[in-house]
A and B are shown apart, each in its own frame.
Chain A
């Protein structure tokens, strides 16, 4: 279906990754990240699993909704990127308080001064439309902003 052919009624926002859930009433209800916990070894994963990469157990897995806060574990400031993207951006590894890590763009930092003071910065998730797919659906990404001192 072309973008023109998609009617407003057919269009729906889609998460950019399978481990993000957009509720029926999004954006009135916030999006969230989800995953599973291995009941055998307690390993936590973003999204669904066929089996546990840690202990090999095929289940059961407990589905869980992850909270939207965490802190910066590591990062890089990407200056050279693929065509069509704005740079520089802070590409971080965010450790969520609920025990999983996620790749994330982090905003609210002085990008000209990367350094050790960024470690452990508290961050909170927000969502943003980043693109429209070929069927005219909005593509929604999870991003993080620094909340330290706020």
Chain B
């Protein structure tokens, strides 16, 4: 595989855009990334579009009709919440393999007012929801957190501290859907959604788009003095474990991805300057501290207690405010996590800048399950 650089990266502020359609949002992000890369759509040799709800409707081609239909290959990708990061990885593979020199990954989603659950009513007669357990995400990630409680004595308060941290970080991120601090008491007293997760411990749905332009090393030299290198780009699916899929196993799929990513990047977790991980729910973040080897088994609760994952701490996690604050427009999320890391590595992250960031890890998980880990470095 060849070295691949991220040369252009941008995202729109996540939120609600009732006056724009999803193609417009995606096009704005794509044009932003092209401008950032100082190249044009005519330089792009392949486009990978990540969008969960529109991938069956040729959204990638619709974007190209908006920004420049050059006739290049367009691939539409869907991989649950890992849709955008899977699109990024496909773009990376296109360049790393030597098949193309310039690729663009676009992640987009418009969820509108689908509501917190992103789910419709119990319209299917044979739906098991609420009569044989739950498949809704707040409950599923609640169960995953409760399993951690069972194993290690983790408390609801420790999970709530994740929300406190990420919402505090978000105050410095103008791209976040919500930029509101939530003290611990407010988090614990907020409306329960699926115990142990309260409202402020759940990511909001919304609209958004993000895009990245990737180039071979030789091509990148023509366009930038500050390439950000993809040290590892890994995608896994969930291997067999006895309770899965009755209880989705979000841990194993991340662990095997982390192991492979560290090996491919030739680094260890101790070499990371920062992490953007998939905190779709506050419970998930603590599990991923261990899954990503940021701490030892059973130490995640202590890690948040000690504040080690705040910006300024030992290993800043979700300096962006995370999905909890930034929002989670499914197809856009994975690309946006990478954009955030790119901005920090370039020193362009404004008030939330992780000082001297050299190596960053972006982790995304999609249930059912997929995990992507992208390690980027200066």
Give me the interface of A with B, judged by CB distance under 8 Å.
14, 16-17, 43-44, 46, 53-54, 73-89, 91-93, 95, 100-105, 114, 116, 119, 128, 130-131, 133-134, 139, 141-143
Closest to A87 in B: B130
Jot down 28 A-B pairs with beta carbons below 8 A, ordered by A: A44-B242, A53-B240, A54-B240, A73-B147, A74-B147, A74-B150, A74-B247, A75-B142, A76-B194, A78-B130, A78-B142, A80-B194, A82-B129, A85-B131, A87-B130, A91-B139, A92-B133, A92-B143, A93-B133, A101-B242, A101-B243, A102-B132, A102-B133, A103-B246, A103-B247, A114-B195, A134-B125, A142-B132
B134 contacts chain A at the CB level, 8 A cutoff: yes
Give me the interface of B with A, judged by CB distance under 8 Å.
116-117, 119-122, 125-126, 128-136, 138-140, 142-144, 146-147, 149-150, 153, 191-197, 240, 242-243, 246-247
Residues of A within 8 A of B117 (CB): 80-82
Residue of A81, A84, A105, A116 ringed by the most chain B CB atoms within 10 A? A81
* A105 and B194 contact, Cβ closer than 8 Å, known pairs A76-B142, A80-B116, A82-B121: no
Closest to A137 in B: B125
Q: Please state if A79 and B146 are interface contacts (CB–CB under 8 Å).
A: no
User: In the assembly, what is the distance between CA of A82 and CA of B131, in Å?
Assistant: 12
Q: Please state if A76 and B240 are interface contacts (CB–CB under 8 Å).
A: no
Residue of B143, B191, B196 ringed by the most chain A CB atoms within 10 A? B143
Q: Please state if B128 and A91 are interface contacts (CB–CB under 8 Å).
A: no
Residues of A within 8 A of B133 (CB): 91-93, 102-105
Quote the shortest CB–CB distance from A91 to chain B (angstroms).
4
Closest 7 interchain pairs by CB?
Answer: A103-B133, A76-B142, A91-B134, A77-B195, A85-B130, A83-B121, A54-B240
- Which secondary structure dominates where chain B touches chain A? loop
Q: Please state if A91 and B143 are interface contacts (CB–CB under 8 Å).
A: yes
Q: Please state if B192 and A77 are interface contacts (CB–CB under 8 Å).
A: yes
Q: Please state if A84 and B132 are interface contacts (CB–CB under 8 Å).
A: no
Residue of B134, B150, B191, B243 ringed by the most chain A CB atoms within 10 A? B134
* A79 and B195 contact, Cβ closer than 8 Å, known pairs A105-B130, A133-B125, A134-B125: yes
Quote the shortest CB–CB distance from A122 to chain B (angstroms).
16
* A139 and B126 contact, Cβ closer than 8 Å, known pairs A74-B146, A76-B142, A80-B194: yes
Q: Please state if A76 and B247 are interface contacts (CB–CB under 8 Å).
A: no
Q: Please state if B120 and A103 are interface contacts (CB–CB under 8 Å).
A: no
Residue in contact with B246 in the complex, picked from A86, A102, A131, A143, CB distance below 8 Å = A102
Q: Please state if B247 and A73 are interface contacts (CB–CB under 8 Å).
A: yes
Residues of B within 8 A of A44 (CB): 242
Q: Please state if B243 and A93 are interface contacts (CB–CB under 8 Å).
A: yes
User: In the assembly, what is the distance between CA of A134 and CA of B134, in Å?
Assistant: 23
Q: Please state if B147 and A85 are interface contacts (CB–CB under 8 Å).
A: no
Residue of A54, A83, A91 ringed by the most chain B CB atoms within 10 A? A91
Q: Please state if B246 and A101 are interface contacts (CB–CB under 8 Å).
A: yes
Residues of B within 8 A of A80 (CB): 116-117, 138, 191-194
Q: Please state if B128 and A16 are interface contacts (CB–CB under 8 Å).
A: yes
Q: Please state if B134 and A76 are interface contacts (CB–CB under 8 Å).
A: yes
Q: Please state if A141 and B132 are interface contacts (CB–CB under 8 Å).
A: yes
Q: Please state if B138 and A76 are interface contacts (CB–CB under 8 Å).
A: yes
User: In the assembly, what is the distance between CA of A43 and CA of B243, in Å?
Assistant: 11
Residues of B within 8 A of A101 (CB): 242-243, 246-247
Residue in contact with B130 in the complex, picked from A75, A81, A133, CB distance below 8 Å = A81
Q: Please state if A78 and B150 are interface contacts (CB–CB under 8 Å).
A: no
User: In the assembly, what is the distance between CA of A92 and CA of B142, in Å?
Assistant: 10
Residues of A within 8 A of B193 (CB): 79-80
Q: Please state if A105 and B131 are interface contacts (CB–CB under 8 Å).
A: yes
User: In the assembly, what is the distance between CA of A28 and CA of B258, in Å?
Assistant: 53
Residues of B within 8 A of A116 (CB): 149-150, 153
Quote the shortest CB–CB distance from A30 to chain B (angstroms).
17
Q: Please state if B192 and A143 are interface contacts (CB–CB under 8 Å).
A: no
* A81 and B247 contact, Cβ closer than 8 Å, known pairs A43-B242, A76-B142: no
User: In the assembly, what is the distance between CA of A95 and CA of B125, in Å?
Assistant: 26
Closest to A120 in B: B150
User: In the assembly, what is the distance between CA of A128 and CA of B146, in Å?
Assistant: 27
Q: Please state if B132 and A105 are interface contacts (CB–CB under 8 Å).
A: yes
